[in-house]
């Protein structure tokens, strides 16, 4: 049987390509790389040697809860900058949290309305001011649905080394 190997790229639909490029390049430090010669507005960025982010401008609908999770190197700087920009969105998944294995988990909207989860590797230094912040809440997100289907474990992690 064939096997999926990994994520090559994520394509996000944006409403304004230039605004989106500025956000991903300036705020998240992504490096622009050439896109193919498509006949529509699109921009490619490099996360690392094997993963890319593609932005493309179309009229489309945005998911309320669907998101991509991006690991960042400095979650403290990101938290305070995103708060300053006013783009932290607590409506789909609650406040900024610390996951049981250590990473901070926070959700922001890009300028087009795409939901991004930003997190850091377990063991990363976390500024204690985040734990005191109005946007922070202890414990994992509780939806109140009481529907426990799915494969779950106390040993779960986002980061497999």
> Between residues 65 and 154, which has the closer beta carbon with respect to Fe ion?
65
99 binds Fe ion (CB under 5 A): no
CB of 131 to Fe ion, least distance (A): 21
Q: Is the dihedral of CA 26, 30, 33, 39 positive or negative?
A: negative
117 binds Fe ion (CB under 5 A): yes
Helix (H) or strand (E) segment spanning residue 105:
strand 104-109
Window contacting Fe ion (CB under 5 A); options: 12-20, 79-87, 115-123, 145-153: 115-123
Report the C-alpha gap between 55 and 97 in whole angstroms: 28
Which region holds residue 54: left if phi is over 0, alpha if psi is between -120 and 50, else beta? beta
> Between residues 69 and 87, which has the closer beta carbon with respect to Fe ion?
69
- How many residues comprise the chain? 161
Q: What angle do CA 62, 158, 91 make, to 5 degrees?
A: 35
69 binds Fe ion (CB under 5 A): yes
Site string for Fe ion, 9-48 (x = CB under 5 A): ----------------------------------------
> Which residues are at the interface with Fe ion (CB under 5 A)?
69, 117
């Amino acid at each position: 049987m064939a096997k999926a190997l990994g994520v090559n790229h994520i394509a996000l639909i944006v409403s304004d390509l230039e605004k989106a490029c500025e956000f991903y390049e300036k705020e998240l430090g992504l490096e622009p790389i050439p896109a193919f010669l498509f006949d529509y507005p699109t921009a490619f960025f490099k996360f690392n040697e094997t993963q890319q982010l593609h932005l493309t401008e179309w009229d489309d609908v945005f998911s309320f809860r669907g998101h991509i999770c991006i690991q960042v190197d400095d979650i403290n700087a990101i938290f305070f900058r995103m708060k300053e920009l006013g783009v932290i969105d607590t409506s789909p998944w609650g406040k900024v949290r610390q996951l049981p294995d250590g990473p901070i988990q926070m959700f922001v909207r890009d300028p087009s309305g795409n939901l991004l989860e930003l997190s850091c590797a377990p063991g990363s230094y976390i500024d204690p001011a985040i734990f005191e912040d109005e946007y922070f809440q202890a414990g994992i997100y509780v939806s109140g649905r009481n529907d426990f289907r799915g494969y779950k474990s106390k040993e779960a992690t986002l980061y497999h080394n």
